[in-house]
Amino acid sequence: MTSKSTQRNTLLLFLLTISTTAIYASKTGGIAVYWGQNGNEGTLADTCATGKFPYVILSFLNVFGNGSAPQLNLAGHCDPASGGCVSLTNDIRSCQKQGVKLMLSIGGGIGTYSLSSKLDARNVSLYLWNAFLGGKSSSVFRPLGDVSLDGIDFDIELGSSQFYDDLVRYLKSYRTKNQRVYVTGAPQCPYPDMLMGPALNTGLFDYVWVQFYNNPPCQYTPGNTTNLINSWNLWTKSLKAKKLFLGLPAATQAAGSGFIPVDVLTSEVLPVIKKSPKYGGVMLWSKYWDDQSGFSSSIVSSV
C-alpha cells in the first residue's frame, strides 16, 4: 500500500511535469514550408521525411470561382489534368503517418480566381471538400487520389476580398468526427491585409503565416529589426487566430526583399517574437529555395 502523503507528492510531481511541458511547448514552434512550384525541389514524401517540417503547403489551386473550372498547378511535379497527380497518394499517406499536416493552398500570385457571391463561395467550398478533403462525390474528380488533405490554405493575392469569409465558414462547417478541417492563411504583413482581412476577421483560422517579405515598411531591412518586430506585435495583438508564424524567404533569391540572415534571425528576432503566446514558428517560401540555401537546417533548433 502507498501512503496518502506519497500519493499526494506523486500527484504534485505529475502536475508539475505537465505544467512544465505545457510551458515549454508554448515557447517552441515548427517550420511550415510551401511545396509544389518547382519540379526540382524533391518529392513530397522526401520533404516530409526530413523531419523539419510539421506543416507542408501544396501550392497552388490557382484557378477557381466565378464559374471557372478549378485548376490545380503543381508545376513540374505532375499534370493534374491528365490524372498524373494521383501519383502523390502514397506520398500524402507517408507524410500524414509522420504527423505532418498537409494543406492545399488556393490563390497565389499568378492565376485566375475570385468569388462572385456567397453561393459561389459555397460551391467552391463543396468542390474543395469533395476533391481534396473528406467529402465524396461521384461527379467530382479527386486530383490527388483517395486521400484527404488536412485543410485549406488561403494565399489570396489577386482580385478582391469579397466572400472569402463565407468560404472559410463553409469549410469549417464540414468538420466531421473523423476529420477536422484546418484553415490557414498567408497574408501580406501590412495590417490589415487588403484582400484577406475580412476572412481573417472570422477568427476561424488555425495558423496564419504572415508574409514578412516584399513589403519594406513591415519587414526586416539590413541592420534594422524594428519595423519587423513592430509589425509582428501589431499582428499578435490584433489577429484572431490560434497561432502566428513569421513568413520568410528561404534564400535571398526567393523574394525581392525581406531575407533575414540566419545569425540575425536566431539572435535578434526569434528570441523576441517567441515571447508571444501566439507564436507558432516560421514559414518558408519555398522548399526549392530552402534546398538551395539550407536555411531550415540552420534555424530548426532555434525555432
Q: Are residues 46 and 96 in contact, defined by beta-carbon separation less than 8 angstroms?
A: no
Q: How far is CA 46 from CA 57, 61, 102, 105, 291, in A?
A: 14, 22, 14, 19, 12
Kindly indicate the confidence band of residue 6, based on its pLDDT and cuts at 50, 70 and 90.
very low
**Is 192 a member of any domain?**
yes
pLDDT tens profile 113-125: 999 999 999 999 9
User: 36 lies in a domain?
Assistant: yes
Q: Which three cell numbers stand for residue 99?
A: 504527423
Task: Tell me the pLDDT tens digit for each residue of 222-238.
Answer: 999 999 999 999 999 99
Euclidean distance between CA atoms 198 and 205, whole angstroms: 12
CATH number at residue 210: 3.20.20.80
How many domains does one find in the chain?
1
Is residue 256 included in any domain, yes or no?
Answer: yes
Q: Is 11 within a domain?
A: no
18, part of any domain: no
Q: Given this model, what pLDDT does residue 54 score? A: 98
pLDDT above 50 for 34: yes
Q: Is residue 21 in a domain? A: no
pLDDT score at 13: 41
pLDDT tens for 80-120 read 999 999 999 999 999 999 999 999 999 999 999 999 999 99
pLDDT of amino acid 181: 97
pLDDT cut 70: percent of the chain above it: 91
When pLDDT is cut at 50, 70 and 90, the band that residue 67 belongs to is very high
pLDDT at 176: 85
The CA-based angle 50-54-56, given to 5 degrees, is: 85
pLDDT tops 60 at residue 1: no
* Average confidence (pLDDT) over 19-42: 75
Query: Given pLDDT bands bounded at 50, 70 and 90, which one contains residue 79?
Result: very high
Label residue 179 by pLDDT band (50, 70, 90): confident
What domain range includes position 79?
28-299
How far CA 138 is from CA of 63, 113, 135, 166, 213, in Å, comes to 22, 25, 10, 25, 42
The catalytic residues are 157
Taking residues 127-147, report their average pLDDT.
96
Q: What residues form DSSP beta bridges with 61?
A: 72, 106
Indicate whether 118 belongs to any domain: yes
Q: Is residue 152 in some structural domain?
A: yes
